[in-house]
């Protein structure tokens, strides 16, 4: 992307501040509650995610928890799929796909992830709702904080923090429940019979939620999350952003309803600052695009409500693009967007194909290096191998071990092994060959493992067979 295509993301400093100091005392943001079209969308997108987060660990599949990252057993159960440490590249690929999806969506629709589905945004909204229910409206909260301590103030503040801690505890317990069976966890926590690690992690994630969503709030977005800092690299003049239309709104000024603003030399903005009062990060969207903006559209709903009252057209603050604000046409299909989505389709296709063709069986062969070879009583040359056979299927199978690549070689001893579902079995195997059949010092040897009851469950691993050098 050329430099001319980039959007300047401003870091607005108040006039009374000479320079921006991130260590200065944080000024508390009192947000006004706002309803509107986009807030209903946030509600409809947020609740399914919340319900999925809290309820998913309670569902069972195939006799186990539907989603369980079992670290002691080194198994990740995700619905009907079980992933092993050998499948970690799959998780890495999934993270890469998610990153590309975020880049693609950001290029087209800006910070829609931050505004609608980011956990920090969703949980902060819940905490703000609890605060509004216990301490009242914006003006009531400001007045309550300035008032001296009293029984009423203590009750309101205490109720708020109890609500926060309740949500935080539910969040922490659920999170730990993804790594430890949640039914056992809840019972052990209630009966004080849980281990110290379960208690420690539950308390840790409870406090992390309480601090992040209750106290830090917008500070996480501004100073902790790196996404706000590199978003401008992915933005261009056609990216959808929340923006104020200065050509229509300026100059700002108050007036009575029903008066044509052009007749008194002002724009549509009545300078009510409602857009500032509803902003969870405390910015004034009228100052231009700023990295603090998370695209939550609260200012759009607030401004539209004022435009309705003033009987002006909606959209003074709206989802738009820099190109549209400059009177140009927004280009939705552009090179970078097409490139992102093509890469996303290819990576998703490869990932899905691998999952569909994945064989839940692994064989690892390690040749004994303490003895390169031995000679048995029949005069044959023997090599010793250690095989690690992993049955990643949830059911029991009998497996037959065979070899290929060296026609004269044979396995000495047992070749059939029965493994339970999820079992890792270590096999000490001896392979023998007549010395006259060995023409080179090192021959390739391929070990095969196949389930006797399912020919599709088959895998192989290569090794070497060594003979004396004379």
Mean pLDDT of the chain: 88
Looking at residue 313, its pLDDT comes to: 93
Tell me what the mean pLDDT of segment 413-428 comes to.
91
Residue in 404, 417, 410 with CA at minimum distance from that of residue 381: 410
Q: How far apart are CA 59 and CA 70, in angstroms?
A: 16
Alpha-carbon torsion (357, 359, 360, 362), positive or negative: negative
Q: Residue 231 above 80 pLDDT?
A: no
Looking at residue 21, its pLDDT comes to: 53
Among the residue ranges 61-75, 77-91, 101-115, 204-218, the one predicted with the least confidence is 77-91
Q: How far apart are CA 214 and CA 171, in angstroms?
A: 13
Q: Residue 204 above 80 pLDDT?
A: yes
Considering the domain boundaries, does residue 206 fall inside one? no
What CATH number corresponds to the domain at position 390? 2.60.40.10
Q: Residue 316 above 70 pLDDT?
A: yes
Among the residue ranges 61-65, 245-249, 264-268, 350-354, the one predicted with the least confidence is 61-65
Q: How far apart are CA 345 and CA 349, in angstroms?
A: 6
Pairing of strands 424-433, 381-391: antiparallel
Considering the domain boundaries, does residue 277 fall inside one? no
Looking at residue 74, its pLDDT comes to: 81
Looking at residue 302, its pLDDT comes to: 95
Reported as a single tens digit per residue, the pLDDT across 383-409 is: 999 999 999 888 899 999 999 999 999
Q: Residue 8 above 70 pLDDT?
A: no
Reported as a single tens digit per residue, the pLDDT across 252-261 is: 999 888 888 8
Q: Using pLDDT thresholds of 50, 70 and 90, give the confidence band for residue 10.
A: low
Tell me what the mean pLDDT of segment 181-187 comes to.
94
Tell me what the mean pLDDT of segment 422-432 comes to.
92
Considering the domain boundaries, does residue 286 fall inside one? no
286 dihedral zone (left: phi>0; alpha: psi -120 to 50; beta):
alpha
Looking at residue 208, its pLDDT comes to: 96
Looking at residue 287, its pLDDT comes to: 92
Looking at residue 16, its pLDDT comes to: 39
Residue in 458, 355, 341 with CA at minimum distance from that of residue 91: 355
Per the omega criterion (within 30 degrees of 0), is the bond before 251 cis? Answer: yes
% of the chain with per-residue pLDDT over 90: 59
The answer to whether the predicted template modeling score (pTM) of the entire model surpasses 0.85 is: no
> Are 222 and 281 contacting, i.e. CB atoms less than 8 angstroms apart?
yes
Q: Residue 9 above 80 pLDDT?
A: no
Considering the domain boundaries, does residue 455 fall inside one? yes
> Are 138 and 30 contacting, i.e. CB atoms less than 8 angstroms apart?
yes
Highest-confidence segment of 65-74, 182-191, 287-296, 351-360:
182-191
Tell me what the mean pLDDT of segment 132-156 comes to.
94
> Are 68 and 320 contacting, i.e. CB atoms less than 8 angstroms apart?
no
Considering the domain boundaries, does residue 244 fall inside one? no
Considering the domain boundaries, does residue 90 fall inside one? no
Tell me what the mean pLDDT of segment 239-245 comes to.
93
Q: How far apart are CA 362 and CA 83, in angstroms?
A: 12
Considering the domain boundaries, does residue 149 fall inside one? no
Residue in 253, 236, 250 with CA at minimum distance from that of residue 316: 250
Say how many domains are in the chain.
1
Tell me what the mean pLDDT of segment 103-124 comes to.
90
Contacts of 377 (CB under 8 A, 6+ apart): none
CA dihedral of residues 94, 100, 103, 104 (deg, nearest 10): -120
Tell me what the mean pLDDT of segment 316-328 comes to.
91
Considering the domain boundaries, does residue 342 fall inside one? no
Domain of 430? 361-466
Among the residue ranges 76-85, 155-164, 292-301, 383-392, the one predicted with the least confidence is 76-85
Residue in 353, 330, 349 with CA at minimum distance from that of residue 341: 349
Q: Residue 167 above 50 pLDDT?
A: yes
Q: Residue 4 above 80 pLDDT?
A: no
Q: Using pLDDT thresholds of 50, 70 and 90, give the confidence band for residue 356.
A: confident
Tell me what the mean pLDDT of segment 148-153 comes to.
94
Q: Residue 17 above 60 pLDDT?
A: no
Q: What angle do CA 470, 435, 405 make, to 5 degrees?
A: 110
> Are 277 and 316 contacting, i.e. CB atoms less than 8 angstroms apart?
no
Q: Residue 14 above 50 pLDDT?
A: no
Looking at residue 23, its pLDDT comes to: 53
């Amino acid at each position: 992307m050329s430099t001319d295509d980039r959007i300047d993301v401003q870091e607005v400093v108040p006039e009374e501040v000479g320079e921006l100091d991130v260590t200065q005392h944080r000024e508390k943001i009192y947000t006004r509650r706002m309803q509107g079209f986009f807030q209903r969308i946030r509600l409809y997108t947020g609740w399914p995610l919340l319900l999925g987060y809290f309820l998913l660990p309670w569902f069972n599949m195939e006799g186990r928890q539907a989603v369980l990252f079992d670290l002691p057993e080194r198994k990740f159960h995700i619905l009907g799929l079980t992933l092993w440490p050998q499948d970690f590249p799959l998780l890495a690929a999934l993270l890469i796909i998610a990153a590309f999806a975020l880049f693609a969506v950001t290029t087209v629709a800006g910070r829609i992830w931050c505004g609608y589905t980011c956990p920090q945004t969703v949980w902060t909204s819940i905490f703000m709702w609890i605060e509004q229910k216990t301490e009242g409206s914006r003006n009531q909260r400001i007045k309550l904080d300035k008032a001296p301590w009293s029984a009423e103030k203590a009750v309101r503040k205490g109720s708020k923090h109890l609500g926060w801690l309740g949500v935080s505890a539910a969040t922490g317990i659920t999170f730990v429940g993804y790594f430890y069976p949640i039914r056992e966890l809840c019972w052990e926590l209630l009966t004080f019979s849980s281990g110290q690690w379960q208690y420690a992690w539950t308390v840790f994630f409870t406090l992390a939620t309480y601090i992040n969503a209750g106290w830090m709030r917008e500070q996480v977005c501004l100073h902790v999350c790196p996404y706000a800092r590199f978003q401008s690299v992915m933005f261009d003049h056609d990216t959808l952003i929340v923006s104020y239309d200065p050509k229509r709104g300026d100059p700002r000024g108050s007036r009575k309803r029903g008066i044509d603003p052009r007749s008194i030399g002002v724009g549509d903005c009545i300078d009510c600052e409602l857009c500032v009062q509803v902003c969870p990060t405390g910015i004034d969207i009228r100052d231009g695009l700023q990295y603090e903006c998370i695209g939550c559209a609260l200012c759009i709903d607030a401004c539209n409500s004022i435009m309705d009252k003033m009987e002006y057209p909606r959209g003074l603050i709206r989802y738009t693009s820099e190109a549209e604000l400059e009177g140009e046409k927004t280009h939705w299909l552009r090179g970078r967007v097409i490139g992102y989505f093509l890469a996303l389709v290819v990576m998703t296709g490869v990932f899905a194909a691998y999952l569909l063709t994945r064989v839940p069986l692994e064989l690892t062969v390690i040749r004994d290096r303490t003895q390169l070879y031995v000679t048995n009583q029949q005069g044959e040359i023997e090599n010793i191998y250690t095989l690690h056979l992993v049955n990643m299927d949830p059911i029991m199978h009998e497996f037959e071990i065979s070899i290929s690549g060296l026609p004269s070689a044979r396995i000495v001893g047992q070749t059939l092994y029965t493994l339970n579902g999820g079992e890792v079995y270590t096999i000490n195997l001896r392979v023998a060959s007549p010395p006259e059949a060995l023409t080179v010092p090192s021959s390739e040897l391929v070990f095969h493992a196949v389930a006797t009851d399912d020919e599709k469950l088959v895998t192989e691993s290569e090794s070497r067979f060594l003979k004396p050098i004379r």
